[in-house]
Amino acid sequence: MMEQFIEIKANNPGSLLFYRMGDFYELFFDDAVEASRALGITLTRRGQHMGHDIPMCGVPVHAADDYLQKLISLGFRVAVCEQVEDPAEAKKRGGKSVVKRDVVRLVTPGTLTEEKLLSPSESNYLMALARIRGSSEPAMALAWIDISTGVFRLAESDGPRLLADILRIDPRELIVPDSMFHDPELKPVFDVLGRTAVPQPAVLFDSATAEGRIARYFDVGTLDGFGSFSRAELAAAAAAVAYVEKTQIAERPPLGRPERESAASTLFIDPATRGNLELTRTLTGDRNGSLLKAIDRTVTGGGARLLAERLMSPLTDPARINERLDSISLFLNEASLAEDLRDALKHVPDMPRALSRLALDRGGPRDLDAIMQGLSTASGIAERLDVADLPRELAEALADLKTLPAYLWSLLASQLADDLPLLKRDGGFLREAASAELDEVRALRDQSRRVIAGLQLQYADETGIKSLKIKHNNVLGYFIEVTAGNAGSMTDTPEAKARFIHRQTMANAMRFTTTELADLESRIANAADRALTIELEAFERMAAAVVAEAEPIKAAARALSVIDVARALAALAEEQGYCRPHVDDSRMFAIVAGRHPVVEQALRRQSAGPFVANDCDLSPQNGSKHGALWLLTGPNMGGKSTFLRQNALIAIMAQMGSFVPAGSAHIGVVDRLFSRVGASDDLARGRSTFMVEMVETAAILNQATDRSLVILDEIGRGTATFDGLSIAWAAVEHLHEANCCRGLFATHFHELTVLSEKLVRLSNATMRVKEWHGDVIFLHEVGPGAADRSYGIQVARLAGLPATVVARARDVLTRLEDADRKNPASQLIDDLPLFQVAVRSQEQSSAKPSKVEEALKSMNPDDMTPREAMDALYALKSQLAAG
């Protein structure tokens, strides 16, 4: 047996081997050591190999999914090894023959289908990256597949945007050729992706055989009907298909035909911007607090996945954007229809994932039921939605719903029971009357006593022996027993002897059997097995019928997701008071009363008062054909970062096809969105906070176009004052003159505000504050003009800095402002000794207590009446006045 394990393990390097032994998956050698540590299960031993104990641990087969989930989340890959031979066949080869086993599936993060291992609201993509050298075509391409839903898409890419394209899809597993994985130029990309990126043999990515591999998978002679693809795209697609075949062994998931995505069709958002804007995850990795969490009102798994997909890949085509907005408008105008659809959609199961499990022979009765319920619900939704003047998106969805085969629902409804087991091997999922043979076998299995009693009565009537009994023991099985005196009627005639076969003579009784009784005994003994066999055969027929209709089922599921997303975004708009944005091909960016969608909801939950809305107009002005650039100044805590982010999020929401948190919004399509907000370092790659800031800024200045939207916050603050000011100054000029983009540039370098005098598209804006008795009140309002100071000391006081530090800071600030601007530090050295605060504190601590202090120490307020306290206060005041 261990020889078999070692051989199979050698053929599956890099994976933990789940070796089936009875009711357990066992792991041996290093696999056992790693698994026991990862899963927290006991490590034992089984025999020896080459003189050393063999480590072993195991997990129950019935609970394997739970352990797989943990291993996959930790980055492991698992090879599942099952028995592929009946033990009886193995015995024929000899008593010590080992049952044949083989790997039936490789479980990897990107090839999961089990319901327990997947999040219903998240896609689970496997991605392949291919590169073609020395070609006039784009050098790189990506192909991504979700085998749990059948999605299959392709896109071209290149070095500068590669990481952004990968993170837009957010795959769970990325396969790359060995040579590419070790390319120093791409190392930064794979460092960011970590264990998600997995090297694979280069033969999987061979572009010469790629078209044939894809054609064989889809059983077509040519790919001409699929569209036109570059060599790199074909190589990536073939690699993805090859990896699916490699991991699924003999099974084939029902993939959709590959769809090509154009890079220009979606809004480019670089990796830093995705992180800064917290689209699907916060900076800490939590879904709560993200934009996706704030806007998600979907009620189906498919709808949640589609919403996330649209958020990660906003469109750049105004026509398609407005089609999505039309759908939302319909549901806002038809509130009763939207509510009816919401109630119906709540009952929509995840048909694509159920379909995939059935196609891969991992499905169960509940997956068939999911298809049946989905068909029924889809039919009802189609009837509700079949109204005049539907927007194009919803009209196409309705057409897809109408393609569902009606016979399939009838087939499943006539076969499936009301109460279904989880696993098909448990049986009991076919309803009564679904099969006459099954009903008979079940009667034998479940009602054998009644059947035997009926046969006993029949024999008693036939022989006239009222005391005749049918009994059972482990030696004879079922037999007829009569007293010796009554046995004559069963032995006297040849006909009786032929009918009743003598089995055994006892002292006072004789035992017989009949051909009928022996046959019945055999049928009763095999009834359970036969019942399960009949049900499994029926299951295979139903699963085959479902898989044969995979395309219309997937199209209908996609249609239901489209309806759910449109309805959900309409509910969001109604609930939060969002407006429909006007999206076109212009360079406009005019937001009136814009709000931050996440912060606004957080304030409402905390009952912290209303969100302060602000306008933002970056539209072309003064005859310019390019958008405007705002230079935003004002104090920390004034709301600059919130204002910056909210405008970026409004642009994303508008282009994903959603209403937006504003009074009104006119947005000319943005082709690239860049946001550089906040500070972070990259110590693993030897980058300081300032270096990361400069790298991200460089990417923006090198890639932004006149259609882009750029959000920059505090550029240059990570270095010396004059260095930072110079960098910020030059960056503003470059954005204005070279990039010609629409942008918001927040800064504490007030010196930059003079640039508005020479840069015609640059305007100054500030976060308004109000001072009251030495305190600063943040109004969170944006208005024209420039801030005269940053109010940093007031913010420091609010943060809880010691009073001595705040006082010292005020003193330093006053002297800095009065000092010679050419060399303020020279006067500070003489006039403000470094340890002045410490010396002053020491002098105060060594001074003799005053009479007032001594009087205060002697008082006990808890023992004083109000009148006594008042008198004591006047006495202290008199002592203080007397000195």
pLDDT in tens, 223-254: 988 988 999 999 999 999 999 999 998 788 99
Tell me, yes or no, whether 544 lies in a domain: no
CA-CA distance, 325 to 566, in Å (whole number)?
Answer: 8
Residues 621 and 766 in one domain: yes
The string over 201-227, giving b where at least 16 C-beta atoms fall within 10 Å of a residue's C-beta and e elsewhere, is: eeebbbbebbbebbbebeeeeebeebe
Residue with the larger pLDDT of the pair 260 and 845: 260
Which stretch, 107-116, 551-560, 872-881, has highest mean pLDDT? 551-560
Tell me, yes or no, whether 864 lies in a domain: yes
Structure tokens at 866: 């109000």
Q: Locate tokens 């009886």: which residue? A: 88
468: pLDDT strictly greater than 60:
yes
Tell me, yes or no, whether 638 lies in a domain: yes
Q: Which tens digit of pLDDT belongs to each residue from 293-344?
A: 999 999 999 999 999 999 999 999 999 999 999 999 999 999 999 999 999 9
CATH of the domain at 513: 1.10.1420.10
Min mean pLDDT across 206-210, 579-583, 622-626, 816-820 is at 816-820
Q: What confidence tier does 774 reach under pLDDT thresholds 50, 70, 90?
A: low
CA-CA distance, 659 to 653, in Å (whole number)?
Answer: 7
Q: Which tens digit of pLDDT belongs to each residue from 699-746?
A: 899 999 999 999 998 887 777 778 888 888 999 999 999 999 999 999
CATH of the domain at 16: 3.40.1170.10
Structure tokens at 115: 């319901």
* Domain termination site, one of 107, 129, 152: 107
Tell me, yes or no, whether 423 lies in a domain: no
Tell me, yes or no, whether 828 lies in a domain: yes
Percent of the chain with pLDDT over 90: 59
| pLDDT confidence of residue 833 | 43
Which 3 state secondary structure label does DSSP give 43?
coil
The answer to whether the beta carbons of residues 644 and 710 sit under 8 Å apart is: no
Residues 681 and 740 in one domain: yes
| pLDDT confidence of residue 639 | 84
Tell me, yes or no, whether 541 lies in a domain: no
Residues 666 and 693 in one domain: yes
The average pLDDT across 346-364 equals 94
Q: What confidence tier does 685 reach under pLDDT thresholds 50, 70, 90?
A: low
506: pLDDT strictly greater than 50:
yes
Structure tokens at 692: 């990361």
| pLDDT confidence of residue 535 | 94
CA-CA distance, 333 to 319, in Å (whole number)?
Answer: 21
Mean pLDDT of the chain: 88
Q: What confidence tier does 826 reach under pLDDT thresholds 50, 70, 90?
A: very low
Q: Which tens digit of pLDDT belongs to each residue from 153-180?
A: 999 998 888 999 999 999 999 999 999 9
Residues tagged in the binding site annotation: 634-641
| pLDDT confidence of residue 654 | 98
Q: What confidence tier does 839 reach under pLDDT thresholds 50, 70, 90?
A: very low
The answer to whether the beta carbons of residues 347 and 377 sit under 8 Å apart is: yes
| pLDDT confidence of residue 749 | 86
| pLDDT confidence of residue 830 | 46
Which 3 state secondary structure label does DSSP give 67?
helix
525: pLDDT strictly greater than 70:
yes
Residues 781 and 806 in one domain: no
Taking each helix axis as running N to C, give the angle between helix 515-548 and helix 406-415, from 0 to 180 degrees, rounded to the nearest 10. 150
The DSSP annotation for 3-28 comes to: HHHHHHHHTSTTSEEEEEETTEEEEE
The average pLDDT across 824-852 equals 50
Tell me, yes or no, whether 420 lies in a domain: no
Domain range enclosing 463 = 437-535
DSSP type of residue 315:
B
pTM strictly above 0.85: no
Structure tokens at 135: 């070609």
Residues 759 and 683 in one domain: yes
Residues 668 and 748 in one domain: yes
Residues tagged in the binding site annotation for ATP: 634-641
The answer to whether the beta carbons of residues 229 and 210 sit under 8 Å apart is: no
Nearest Cα to 503, choosing from 475, 466, 523?
475
Q: How many domains does the chain have?
A: 7
Residues 141 and 60 in one domain: no
Residues 340 and 254 in one domain: no
Residues 568 and 620 in one domain: no
Tell me, yes or no, whether 419 lies in a domain: no
Residues 857 and 874 in one domain: yes
Nearest Cα to 731, choosing from 696, 706, 683?
696
509: pLDDT strictly greater than 80:
yes
Q: Which tens digit of pLDDT belongs to each residue from 33-90?
A: 999 999 999 999 988 888 889 999 999 998 898 899 899 988 899 999 998 887 777 7
CA-CA distance, 728 to 748, in Å (whole number)?
Answer: 10
Residues 581 and 570 in one domain: no
Structure tokens at 649: 């999020």
789: pLDDT strictly greater than 80:
no
Residues 129 and 199 in one domain: yes
The DSSP annotation for 424-469 comes to: GGG---BPTTS-HHHHHHHHHHH-HHHHHHHHHHHHHHHHT-TT-E
